[in-house]
Amino acid sequence: MIIAINGSPRKKGNTATLLGYVLEGARSKGAPTELVHLCDLNYRGCVSCFACKHKGGNLGHCALHDGLSGLLERLRDAEAIVLGSPIYYWDVTGAMRSFMERFFFSNMLYTKQNRWLFPKRIPSALVYTWGSPEEGVRKYDGFVRTTEKYLGMMLGMPPAVLYSVNSLQFNDYSRYETDALDEEAIRKHRREVFPQDCQKAFELGASLVS
Ligand SMILES: Cc1cc2nc3c(=O)[nH]c(=O)nc-3n(C[C@H](O)[C@H](O)[C@H](O)COP(=O)(O)O)c2cc1C
């Protein structure tokens, strides 16, 4: 199973669209897929109980029982994991961050050896959508680059990363206060570049399987 997780509150937004293509690519290679919208789940971030690190305890498992518990367990059986998020203030959304706290922390020990408890070495991908144009993104992607390294260490290989920039934030720009945004450039980008991002997402999904 290839599991994709959408950190956007919009189930039909830019991130969900790209994750849809990633999973379509995976299915084209015969893999079963699942798309999870975090906004459908009722959960919170890590509560720092440390039960996942307790000697003689259930190492590698989050002890908090809420809407995330089933997903955290299913991820242990996944053949690949795809995390997608819009960028909110230079990082992933709060929903994705809370998920990452639970997922990363429960799979990590404070030990010199056997630091990572995730049971398998599997491929992964990170899909980020940004409202900013390319030049803004490259200047401010420090947080997400750290996440990239961390996920790679946990799952045993570096994730594939897809940035989709200059995103269309709403359909009718005339209804919003937006004079700092270049609507014409954004619409051109949507017509000409976003379809290429969707194609890249499809190919990325296929590569996770082969
Ligand atoms: C609260 C909020 C904060 C945002 N912060 C940023 C940001 O720091 N950098 C950026 O490039 N875009 C930012 N954006 C724009 C979104 O990342 C962008 O529109 C994204 O494609 C939305 O994804 P979605 O359609 O999947 O919801 C922000 C949007 C919101 C609502």
User: Residue 210: pLDDT above 80?
Assistant: no
If you measure from the C-alpha of residue 85 to the centroid of ligand 1, how many angstroms do you get, rounded to a whole number?
Answer: 9
Nearest CA residue ID for atom 30, ligand 1: 88
Confidence class for position 25, pLDDT limits 50, 70, 90: very high
What is the best residue among 88, 97, 177, 182 to mutate for testing ligand 1's pocket, by most ligand atoms within 8 Å of CB? 88
Sign of CA pseudo-dihedral 115, 118, 120, 126: negative
The token pair at 203 is: 């190919």
The token pair at 16 is: 């969900």
| pLDDT one-digit tens code per residue, 193-209 | 999 999 999 999 999 99
| pLDDT one-digit tens code per residue, 75-97 | 999 999 999 999 999 999 999 99
Cite the DSSP H helix spans in the chain. Answer: 14-28, 69-75, 94-106, 134-139, 142-155, 183-192, 194-209
| pLDDT one-digit tens code per residue, 118-154 | 999 999 999 999 999 988 898 889 999 999 999 999 9
C-beta of residue 164 within 8 angstroms of C-beta of residue 128 = yes
Domains and CATH numbers, the chain: 2-209 (3.40.50.360)
pTM of the model: 0.97
If you compute the radius of gyration of the chain from its CA atoms, what whole number of angstroms results? 18
The token pair at 190 is: 């949507």
If you measure from the C-alpha of residue 103 to the centroid of ligand 1, how many angstroms do you get, rounded to a whole number?
Answer: 23
